[in-house]
Structure 1
């Protein structure tokens, strides 16, 4: 009997310190992220990867020598497989490190697949994340049996996803009423947004919908992980931490909103750099809310997304 294939699309991360430089090369070779003339893209990517490798390796050393993203995305896939049942086959396709899209499709087509659902692990759409993964899928899919493909574009405002975020905050934050909520999302070059990318609007909508469940709580949204000289989305999360604590905020909850599993942006930037910053400024309580990972309510949201995409 044929099955429906579900492909979880994610960024991927290095699985060893020796993988850091080739991972960075793959990332900076992506024209959907860095739009420079294609003729020079790969030499420039090689140079940036070489220049950034040592500093980036240090982040991963602090995190135990590798990114947990593959392991956590595979746990999400396993949990989703369990709730979808035997008529589905769920696989993981990473954009910049193993398992790459081709590996995922090879695994998928060990079964008789009747159609494919592409499910990005990015709740908010951007051409630099979901769009890039879709483009890579298109390039690779040509070499495989041509079955119908359904794309889930975003789910930033899906009620079940919002419910999962709300539950996750409440589970990890005792007496949340006394905290200031600082949401943090990966920043993007302003130029990308000006060209019509919906990421900023969708991120703001996610935060607004979450905060409807916490009407008494003050909150802000910041952006993190800027690289390079061009203008990126602001305010920056670290600057907000500084401003908030200096203005008298004593209890700060940091909530990653564009990540559904842990990687260097959460485990190093938030847990090491931003925590250290907050403590140096005299914060009384600093709580970083974990990402959703395989939270049952998030897996239920993913199940609903797959089922409704097929109707």
Structure 2
């Protein structure tokens, strides 16, 4: 009989706030061709000659501002999610990070050592982007091909508009929103370069090129991060009953000079007070666990930007983290997999997750 196992995938974190550890982490992260999608020589020069000489020290200070006594918030929260899910199941659950530790390869090996030959892959990304969901899955499948090419694998698709994911988001945010003491709810999603949308569009003629492309039905939506973010917001506000004038969607975390998805979160927070929106709450649905981008960039820098611009009240809403409704969601997807609801794929199939193919 086969033995089932589960692997949760997330982005990762440096091993510590030491500059050397942060530099090592940033090098692995930024040299990923799905993050900086330039030819290798260009990517190598940009990372090693333009970014790494200065950025690690700045990033180390940012990580130090959110670091817990036990370690990285992202790793600790992700491990708690893994443990809570495992407590509801009778099969092993491992946690792997795309960059840093615990590595994806070590998590896979942990499961293989327990005899797992039927694997359910659960990316902790609700939305599809080649720099998050795609790279995490492709990286895992490379390890599968090396360690056990005949491993049976099944992938959880992006769940950006699944009703129980939306319900988990709503219930986690409800304590902050039901009081109604805010002028604007800002949905801040992690940004990506605009060119990534075009690369992920199989037609190369729809995303950012068709008027109202996110709301015009097209096959590109299956891998369109912007469309999927917009659908999450649409489903959330419909469920929560928020009027259109009470919310907006923005994108954070730019890198480089090329245009990224807009509007930008920091620029929006800077302008909101002058338009009379002085009480703001911010939530980050692209993240299922609080991390540097939510705790330092939004709760720290975002708050400072907003208050210095004349804002009066700023409240960041925590990510899903260990919320029972989110663990319910994860468990429900495992049960669906066990009942045969998802298609399986082999590690030898090159089209397993490969929107970059042929680009």
Q: Same fold (TM over 0.5)?
A: yes
**2: distance between equivalents of 1:100 and 1:258?**
21
Structure 2 counterparts to residues 129-208 of structure 1, below 5 A:
129-145=132-148, 146-173=150-177, 175-176=179-180, 178-195=182-199, 196=201, 197-208=223-234
Structure 2 residue 254 is the aligned partner of structure 1 residue 226? yes
Aligned residues: 309
* Contact 2:185 2:248 (C-alpha < 8 Å) held by counterparts: yes
* Contact 1:130 1:153 (C-alpha < 8 Å) held by counterparts: no
Output the aligned Cα RMSD. Answer: 1.7
**2: distance between equivalents of 1:199 and 1:216?**
23
Structure 2 residue 60 is the aligned partner of structure 1 residue 57? yes
Aligned with residue 80 of structure 1, among 85, 92, 101: 85
Deviation at 1:257, TM superposition (A): 1.4
Structure 2 counterparts to residues 1-311 of structure 1, below 5 A:
2-18=2-18, 19-39=21-41, 41-42=43-44, 44-47=46-49, 48-64=51-67, 67-83=72-88, 85-86=89-90, 88-145=91-148, 146-173=150-177, 175-176=179-180, 178-195=182-199, 196=201, 197-217=223-243, 218-310=246-338, 311=340
Deviation at 1:191, TM superposition (A): 0.4
**1: distance between equivalents of 2:151 and 2:231?**
34
Deviation at 1:114, TM superposition (A): 3.0
Change (3 A) 1:117 1:216: closer
**2: distance between equivalents of 1:38 and 1:250?**
45
- Give TM-score scaled by structure 1 length: 0.94
Deviation at 1:2, TM superposition (A): 4.7
Residue 219 of structure 2 aligns with which residue? none
| Bigger shift: residues 201-210 or 248-257 | 248-257
Q: Secondary structure at the match of 1:229?
A: coil
Q: Secondary structure at the match of 1:290?
A: coil
| Bigger shift: residues 56-65 or 130-139 | 56-65
**1: distance between equivalents of 2:180 and 2:297?**
23
* Contact 1:123 1:155 (C-alpha < 8 Å) held by counterparts: yes
Q: Secondary structure at the match of 2:12?
A: coil
**1: distance between equivalents of 2:331 and 2:122?**
10
Deviation at 1:73, TM superposition (A): 0.7
Query: Where does structure 2 lack aligned partners over 5 or more consecutive residues?
Result: 202-222, 341-359
Change (3 A) 1:173 1:216: closer
Change (3 A) 1:44 1:180: closer
Q: Secondary structure at the match of 1:143?
A: helix
Deviation at 1:122, TM superposition (A): 0.6
Deviation at 1:174, TM superposition (A): 5.2
Query: Where does structure 1 lack aligned partners over 5 or more consecutive residues?
Result: none
Q: Secondary structure at the match of 1:32?
A: coil
Deviation at 1:193, TM superposition (A): 0.8
